[in-house]
Structure 1
Amino acid sequence: MKKLSFPTVKLGNFIREVKEKVKNSGISQDDFTVYGVTNTDGITVTNNKASDDLGNYTVLRENQFAYNPYRVNVGSIGLSLPGTFGAVSPAYVVFETNGQISNEFLLYYLKSSLGINLIKWYGDRGGVRSALRFSDLKKIDFPDITLEQQNKLLTKIKKLDELLCELDKNLSDDKIEILRQSILQQAVEGKLCEQDPKDEPANVLLEKIKAEKERLVAEKKIKKQKPLPPISEEEKTFDLPKGWEWCRLGELVTSVTDGPHYSPEYHDKGIPFISGRNITLKGIDFSTAKFISPQLHEELSKRCRPETGDILYTKGGETGKAVVNDIDFEFNVWVHVAVLKPSTFVYNKYLALALNSPHCYALSQKYTHGTGNRDLGLTRMIKITVPLPPANEQQRIVQRVTKLMGQCNLLERELSISKKYASQLMESVLQEAFSVQETAKPAQVIEFHPDQTIPETELLAAARGKIREDTWEHLCKRAMEIAGEES
């Protein structure tokens, strides 16, 4: 049995059941509106009648509560609005307060995670379906605070609830992902960093890369590559800054290989052997890696040997994900992973960033063939067009994107905290109120997690401070503004 973090009294001290029947009201049944209760809308008008005869229905008036004993454990309870007059099914429980507690505060309390847990505790019927009778409701533990204190806490709860709703709306997982994609797209369009006219232009880089490849071919370290088709004007989907160049992926790497096109023999230990599922945008996940023998690793390495600094690029399954290999131990890859060796004149982190941008990702999907066994073939992937900035700007772009992605990670953490806080809002506010009063904490019946509270100022900062209000309406267009705000 767990403890509540605040003193309580029994709810039965403040509530009374309403049992007035329509047939005893002296009012014609035709004058009654029939109401129901849902966990989202509370008390609402319904056309669902259990019977054409409303005689046994319970009269419902303004400022009264109604709930379904079998569904109140999912928050199906409501408070009738001023002016309400009607009836509810006899299956519902109707009750009202004696004026010593706030109706609205009680509704928030019973619909909170704390209230739901108490409802489940006192409505537990053992092996029988859970149902909260009115006699059970009276046993529920209610905060031992005055009506004035309830109203003050209610004001705070409403304010925090509004902020949390806005935060959840603005920082949803999908919007943060849209923001990430917007940042990457702005990066490859040259809109994240100012251009420096003193930088060596990218066309000079391409000449250096070409010379490097010719030297490696002469040294028999790589094979001579077939010429790639020229880039058409239709493929240049956006304008590049001065000093940038459009090029194909194959122009920027000295080799492109993949792992064996068959399933090798696996062992309990040995050299890690990964597939596309082990490649994530956050790095290489070895937790589900298989193992091959050192002998087979050496044999496979004659064709494909991942080295530190290479780019691993998924070409099977979920294609089009790139990550720089920063691992300092030996491993090998299956056919679903391509190993790209960038030219020494191309910053590997920029190239991986570009491959993960919406522009390059869309092309990776275009070049991925098949349905069940999807494959981004090596000869197709090297045709992907990549915007190439000057070498110095590649460095600046990666630094800028790294900072911005860190901001996105912070937003994700804010969202996670807000969701936890929202589910524990009532407990947190009550615990804070009583901790200020340094009140004793008598044993009760529900688990509580005080470590999930966060200051109201942090919620406000998360909702307003890190990103301007109108950002969320123009996420795809506003990575530039976000970039300026993070500093």
Structure 2
Amino acid sequence: MLKRLFPVSFLENPGTINQDIKAFQIYDSRISKYLFLCLKGLSPYILKQFRKQVTTVDSLRFEDFSIMPIPMPPLAEQQRILDRVAELQPDIDAYEKAQTKLQAIEQRFPDDMKKSLLQYAIEGKLVPQRKEEGTAKDLLAEIRAEKARLVKEKKIKKFKPLPAITDDEKPFDIPDSWEWVRLGELGEWCSGATPSRQHPEYFGGKIPWLKTGDLNDGYIKEVPEYITDDGFKNSSTKINPIGSVLIAMYGATIGKLGILKIPATTNQACCACELVHEMYNKYLFYFLFANRKYFIKKGAGGAQPNISKAKITNTVMPLPPLAEQYRIVAKLEELLPLCQQLASHP
């Protein structure tokens, strides 16, 4: 803190300064380089003196600075100190460079650890596989059967067959009990709509209406805006049930997530997934969270960055057996808070 607060420079040529800089004109120029070294180095002793003089507004008064005690050796010893420092300077510079690199690593570590945990989770490396939990192939068959039943009963729309997954689309190997799937297979995905703002009577009702700015990468328990029954009927939005997973598709919020704790409608910039069968919504949430940069990259290139519903539903995902999904989420929620604690305690 003090090294940043009190930078020191050696003036080689005459010059002027502003009111925030204190100039120390040395009566005997022979001691100037040693004094500069003392102030520049900010030894524990000098730091202690500075701390004594710093005011509550983080400033150093001239009168306090001028009476600050400085250890002063004989001139000959000053020169020997300067010579020794010059001799050691390459080692000092190397140490400072290494220290700077280490500090950068320490600053990145919580975020890097978080990314690693999420990546391990979706690669099947975070928790061990258990044979008694079955396979994702069985789970996928149940999901497809449930979707077919819902289509037959006209509870959901008939979906277009998704293309087969090629080997080139599989970025890493997964456990034998897992399966690669497209997100569109897991549930019904839909975007919302915005009732016409030209009709004030469409707003201020009792139906929660969520915008991408309301997504918080967590549970959505309330929203700031509501629409009326007329607003709902006169737009193409729909009410998404509790448990739906939401992802932002447009602009700076691409990839922002939420899980509904309340039934809610959304605007057109938000895509909601209502999962079928027993797929665990929090596993889907963490998969989407781990792949935020992927979706941001997918949305780049246009005047208005966006990812379409088709880009989302065609995304491939490694699917674990249902019981393993729950164990993965439990382990993530045990470990991710530790990353946050590391980030908040430098």
Q: Same fold (TM over 0.5)?
A: yes
Shift of the 78–43 alpha-carbon distance from structure 1 to 2, 3 Å rule, reads farther
- 2:314 corresponds to 1:383: yes
8 Å CA contact 1:259, 1:336 repeated in 2: yes
From the two aligned structures, give the one with the greater helix fraction.
2
From the two aligned structures, give the one with the greater strand fraction.
1
Instruction: Report the equivalent of 1:316.
Output: 250
CA distance in structure 2 between the partners assigned to 1:79 and 1:310 by the alignment: 61
8 Å CA contact 2:114, 2:336 repeated in 1: yes
Instruction: Report the equivalent of 1:116.
Output: 54
Shift of the 316–111 alpha-carbon distance from structure 1 to 2, 3 Å rule, reads farther
After TM superposition, give the deviation of residue 251 of structure 1 in Å. Answer: 0.6
CA distance in structure 2 between the partners assigned to 1:346 and 1:275 by the alignment: 25
Instruction: Report the equivalent of 1:354.
Output: 287
After TM superposition, give the deviation of residue 410 of structure 1 in Å. Answer: 1.7
After TM superposition, give the deviation of residue 205 of structure 1 in Å. Answer: 1.0
- 2:65 corresponds to 1:137: yes
After TM superposition, give the deviation of residue 110 of structure 1 in Å. Answer: 4.4
Question: Which string of whole-angstrom CA distances, capped at 9 and with x for unpartnered residues, describes residues 444-469 of structure 1?
Answer: xxxxxxxxxxxxxxxxxxxxxxxxxx
Across the two proteins, how many residue pairs are aligned to each other?
A: 302
8 Å CA contact 1:65, 1:79 repeated in 2: yes
8 Å CA contact 2:181, 2:317 repeated in 1: yes
CA distance in structure 1 between the partners assigned to 2:146 and 2:319 by the alignment: 17
Aligned ranges for residues 43-442 of structure 1 at < 5 Å? 48-50=12-14, 58-61=28-31, 65=35, 78-79=38-39, 104-112=43-51, 115-117=53-55, 123=61, 132=62, 135-137=63-65, 169-172=104-107, 174-253=108-187, 255-260=188-193, 264=197, 267=203, 270-284=206-220, 290-296=224-230, 298-299=232-233, 303-317=237-251, 318-325=253-260, 327-328=261-262, 330-358=263-291, 361-368=292-299, 371-415=302-346
8 Å CA contact 2:246, 2:258 repeated in 1: yes
Unaligned runs of 5+ in 2: 16-24, 69-98
After TM superposition, give the deviation of residue 47 of structure 1 in Å. Answer: 7.3
Shift of the 184–301 alpha-carbon distance from structure 1 to 2, 3 Å rule, reads farther
User: What's the TM-score once normalised by structure 2's chain length?
Assistant: 0.74
CA RMSD of aligned residues (A): 3.6
Unaligned runs of 5+ in 1: 1-37, 67-76, 82-102, 124-131, 141-163, 416-487
After TM superposition, give the deviation of residue 343 of structure 1 in Å. Answer: 1.7
8 Å CA contact 1:314, 1:321 repeated in 2: yes
Shift of the 389–379 alpha-carbon distance from structure 1 to 2, 3 Å rule, reads same
CA distance in structure 1 between the partners assigned to 2:132 and 2:65 by the alignment: 76
Q: Which amino acid aligns with 1:280?
A: N
Shift of the 118–315 alpha-carbon distance from structure 1 to 2, 3 Å rule, reads closer
Question: Which string of whole-angstrom CA distances, capped at 9 and with x for unpartnered residues, describes residues 143-170 of structure 1?
Answer: xxxxxxxxxxxxxxxxxxxxx9999655
8 Å CA contact 2:248, 2:254 repeated in 1: yes
Shift of the 117–181 alpha-carbon distance from structure 1 to 2, 3 Å rule, reads same
After TM superposition, give the deviation of residue 368 of structure 1 in Å. Answer: 2.2
User: What's the TM-score once normalised by structure 1's chain length?
Assistant: 0.54
